[in-house]
Amino acid sequence: MTGPRRVVITGAGTINSLGHDVPSTLDAMREGRCGIGPLDLRDAERLSIRIGGQVKGYDEQAHFDRQQIALYDRFTQFTLLAAAQAMAQSGIVLSDEERDRAGVVLGTAGGGVNTWDDSYRSVYEEGKNRVHPFVVPKLMNSAAASHVSMKHDLRGPSFTVATACSSSNHAMGLAFQMVRSGLCEAMLTGGSEAMLCFGGIKAWEGLRVMSKDACRPFSANRNGMVQGEGAAVFVFEEHDRARARGAEILAEVAGFGMTADAADIVMPSALGAERAMRVALRDAGLSPEDVGYINAHGTGTAANDKSECASVSHVFGAAADRLMISSTKSMHGHLIGGTGAVELLACIMALRDGVIAPTIGYEMPDPECALDVVPNVAREARVDAVLSNAFAFGGLNAVLALRAA
């Protein structure tokens, strides 16, 4: 072997409020289209927050049969659809022996929230004394990883990571490390969330950090986050193997950094985020000058955006002046545990297509977010390396570094 193993992405799949596959999602990001709108869900009139990035025009019966629907929560359905797209694009063929060294690592914060919500409703509100027999295997956070492993016969390390809003980045970071270390040949990785139901939104309302009208990251008049839903899944594969079989390489995963703030259960610390970015850069062998774009965590809350910009300024110093940073949550909403996965698509678009997704809804400069946030309109630019940030409640930070193929 010559040098350390490298890891590349050879397949991508998604379903989210911007589209039901990768091309339609990237078109929306390129056009700065917003997937956020009025929530269409039961009892929405009892919510004070009534907007979200819902997956639209989705009919589960068009994709799954009755028995499957009885077992697949919405977050599992989204994951399976995204995984099938990623596998199809990758075209990876694994031998029987290699299937023991290929697995599934996914992120989700809430798992089967719709199943919890529907089942509680039936026993508490409707007074029923029994629920569907598959409630437990349907709602468990690891259900999606299990079904993906079964569907694609991947028998290596497989599990689900739950670190709130960093779940997907932690999952993809671990999958990256497993392929790089030689433990695994290839991995299906990413994440999913489907929390847009009455109970899911009600819980979030309590924290009073949600916007009632729009997600406007970095804009001085931002007033909170907006939830989204969906999934994105990727095939991570060892570089030489992908090259040898002539696979199209979407991007290289070059490094991963994770840290804990060890400070507060909701307020972010600029220092924890800063350390995570530094670790990712060092792991990837990149200097700040090499990075052209950051897909920000950029939630649109007062606290995150200010703290994130401060940490980026510290890490990048003078190089921050040439750096683009955008938050695509302004378009697809915050997918909580699935968000880093959908946001990795914007990183791939930057590296492969030379198109930087914009931060839409940007109306007013904020002196505390004085970076180039690619306001409202996508930009053509050649970038060789990017970072993707995820900073979760509870101070759990996960940053991926990627390079152009």
Partner 1 sequence: MDLRDRVIAIIAEQAMLEPSDVTPEQSPADLGIDSLGLVESIFAIEEAFDMSVPFNANAPEESDFDISSVAAIIAAVERLVQEQRTPA
Could you say which of 197, 334, 347, 369 is catalytic? Answer: 334
By CB under 8 A, tell whether 265 contacts partner 1.
yes
Residues 38-57 contacting partner 1, CB under 8 A: 48
Does position 269 interact with partner 1 (CB under 8 A)? The reply is no
Cα 336 to Cα 81: distance, rounded to the nearest angstrom = 19
Hey, what are 161's tokens? 């990571």
User: Is 211 among the residues that bind partner 1 (CB under 8 A)?
Assistant: yes
* 3-state SS, residue 38: strand
Q: Contact between 80 and partner 1 (CB under 8 A)?
A: no
Binding window for partner 1 (CB under 8 A); candidates: 126-134, 165-173, 204-212, 376-384: 204-212
CB of 48 to partner 1, least distance (A): 8
Contacts of 68 (CB under 8 A, 6+ apart): none
Nearer to partner 1, 66 or 208 (CB): 208
Measured CA to CA, the distance from residue 210 to residue 301 in angstroms comes to 8
* 329 scored as a contact of partner 1 (CB under 8 A): no
- By CB under 8 A, name the one of 206, 246, 367, 380 that touches partner 1: 206
CA–CA dist 130, 114 (Å, integer): 17
* CB contact at 8 A, 143 and 76: yes
Q: Is 222 in the site for partner 1 (CB under 8 A)?
A: yes
Strand 158-161 relative to strand 186-193, pairing: unpaired
Q: Annotated catalytic residue: which of 147, 170, 297, 332? A: 297
Q: How far apart are CA 176 and CA 178, in angstroms?
A: 5
Angle between helices 270-284 and 302-316 in degrees, nearest 10:
40
Query: Any catalytic annotation for residue 165?
Result: yes
User: Using the rule CB under 8 A, which residue among 209, 254, 294, 355 binds partner 1?
Assistant: 209
Which one among 70, 88, 123, 207 touches partner 1, defined by CB under 8 A? 207
Q: Choosing from 20, 152, 165, 369, which is the catalytic residue?
A: 165
Please tell me whether residue 363 binds partner 1 under the rule CB under 8 A: no
- Footprint (CB under 8 A) of partner 1, residues 125-154: none
- Please report, as residue ranges, which positions from 284 to 323 form the binding site for partner 1 (by CB under 8 A): 301-303
- Residue 168 tokens read as 């997907």
If one asks whether residue 266 binds partner 1 (CB under 8 A), the answer comes out as yes
334 catalytic per annotation: yes
Using alpha carbons only, give the angle 191, 197, 198 rounded to the nearest 5 degrees.
145
Binding part of the chain for partner 1, among 19-27, 55-63, 203-211, 361-369 by CB under 8 A, reads: 203-211
Strands across the sheet with 385-392, in order? 158-161, 102-107, 186-193, 230-238, 7-16, 251-260, 396-403, 385-392, 293-295, 324-326
Q: What ranges make up the beta strands (E) of 53-157?
A: 102-107
In the chain, the amino acid numbered 245 is: R
Spatial CA neighbour of 140 closest among 108, 168, 112, 106: 112
Is residue 170 part of the annotated active site? The answer reads: no
Kindly indicate which of the ranges 17-25, 200-208, 252-260, 363-371 contains the residues binding partner 1, using the contact rule CB under 8 A.
200-208
Q: How far is the CB of 62 from partner 1 (least distance, A)?
A: 38
In the bound state with partner 1, the residue whose beta carbon lies nearer, of 238 and 305, is 305
Q: Is 392 helix (H, G, I), strand (E, B) or coil?
A: strand
Cα–Cα nearest to 342, from 234, 203, 216, 196: 234
- The one-letter code for the residue type at 393 is F
Contact flag: residue 267 with partner 1 (CB under 8 A): yes
The stretch near partner 1 (CB under 8 A) out of 73-81, 206-214, 285-293, 323-331 is: 206-214
Q: Determine if 268 is a binding residue for partner 1 (CB under 8 A).
A: no
Binding stretches for partner 1 (CB under 8 A) = 48, 206-209, 211, 222-224, 265-267, 301-303
Q: Give the residue numbers marked as catalytic.
A: 165, 297, 334
